[in-house]
Amino acid sequence: MKTQVAIIGGGPSGLLLSQLLRKNGIDSVILERQTKDHVLSRIRAGVLERGLAALLKEAGCGARLEREGFIHKGTVLSFEDTQIGITFADHVDADVVVYGQTEVTRDLYEAHTAGNGKIEFKVKDVEIHDAKSETPYITYMAEGSARRIDCDFIAGCDGFHGVSRNTIPSNVREEFEKVYPFGWLGILSETPPVDDELIYASSPHGFALCSMRNANLSRYYIQCDSDDKVENWSDDAFWKELKRRIPQEAAQKLVTGPSIEKSIAPLRSFVCEPMQWGRLFLCGDAAHIVPPTGAKGLNTAASDVNYLYRALVQFYNKGDESSLKKYSETALARVWKAERFSWWMTSLLHRFPDQSPFDLKMQQAEIEFLRTSTAAQSVLAQNYVGLPY
């Protein structure tokens, strides 16, 4: 098989890249190691920056987002008895949309199918060859037979555990990582959201987040030990702990119910440099991971897709390879800003097991500065809605 761009990974990043390329007459093939149903079963955050929302519309996948997405014009941060309401319009001409990542992926799959896009599921033993040459290719197994794709370029959208990043020689790539000493226990429940906006809550008992998917589907999280287990938490225990971490006003009106999904996510910050090697380009979790505080994971992957897709269009339409050569530099400049914001939000809102009295005072001083400084609130708002591409 031959294509112009071979994409490893059939999640939202790979699908969005394929769809944007197809809109510009560029052929691609996606390789996905799981089934479509498995990909759609993943429960992930759903706060979409302005940039991602615009990309979905550009890809022809924004109709349901516009109909069903929850526009959020601000957010609330609470610190024990102190609440800081930040209205985005006071600081930046933009907002965010709450729309589940599963729904984004479903919309992209529907568009991919409607456009006769090429995708192979349940592929195994994927290997990237000759990425430094002008004729790279991929070998893999599918349906019990060995296969090969020859291509001009390869996009590695296959996540942290995929093959793409490790194809870059270890003496070429440098990896930066911070592992946080806690995780997030999250539940999904068929209950109305406790508030119109997201609530990020810091308390002596730890962090909590009140989010939602729609008017009757809520997503809640609490900070937990990094070695905790889902089995240790009944629904009643979760709701009790959530109530003592969020503002009293919110706790009193919280509607509880049976969980329909419950999981624990570890928290880490990770970046791989460079994000390209020859004609192999990394996108999303293959190159970087952020803690979920601030909802930058999918959004940062989308910014990678934006830079790569536009660079590929420039190459195929104008024969200009300059943006492709600068892809890693361009993408990483924005990645590190998203990493900084996610790290800052995580540091501000969580209680750390080794936190000293001095550390706690510094955290409290940072909170007070945010409460009283319009400039600090403006910085948060600009980062939250998404820095421009």
Active site amino acids: 72, 200, 292, 296, 384
Element (H or E) spanning 214, and its range? Answer: strand 206-214
Backbone torsions φ then ψ of 203, nearest 5 degrees = -145, 170
Q: What is the DSSP letter of 1?
A: -
Task: Tell me the H-state helices in 69-189.
Answer: 101-114, 164-167
For residue 245, the one-letter residue type is: R
| Two structure tokens written together for 351 | 């209680």
Three-state secondary structure readout of 343-385: HHHHHHHCCCCCCCHHHHHHHHHHHHHHHHCHHHHHHHHHHHH
| Two structure tokens written together for 369 | 């500065």
| Residue corresponding to tokens 């429960």 | 43
Distance between CA atoms of 181 and 354, rounded to whole angstroms?
Answer: 9
- Residue of 185, 186, 187, 189 whose CA lies nearest to 258: 189
For residue 329, the one-letter residue type is: E
Please report, for residues 64, 169, 311, the alpha-carbon distance to residue 61 in angstroms, rounded to integers and kept in the order given. 8, 36, 21
Q: Are 19 and 68 in contact (CB under 8 A)?
A: no
Element (H or E) spanning 76, and its range? Answer: strand 74-79
Q: What is the DSSP letter of 36?
A: H
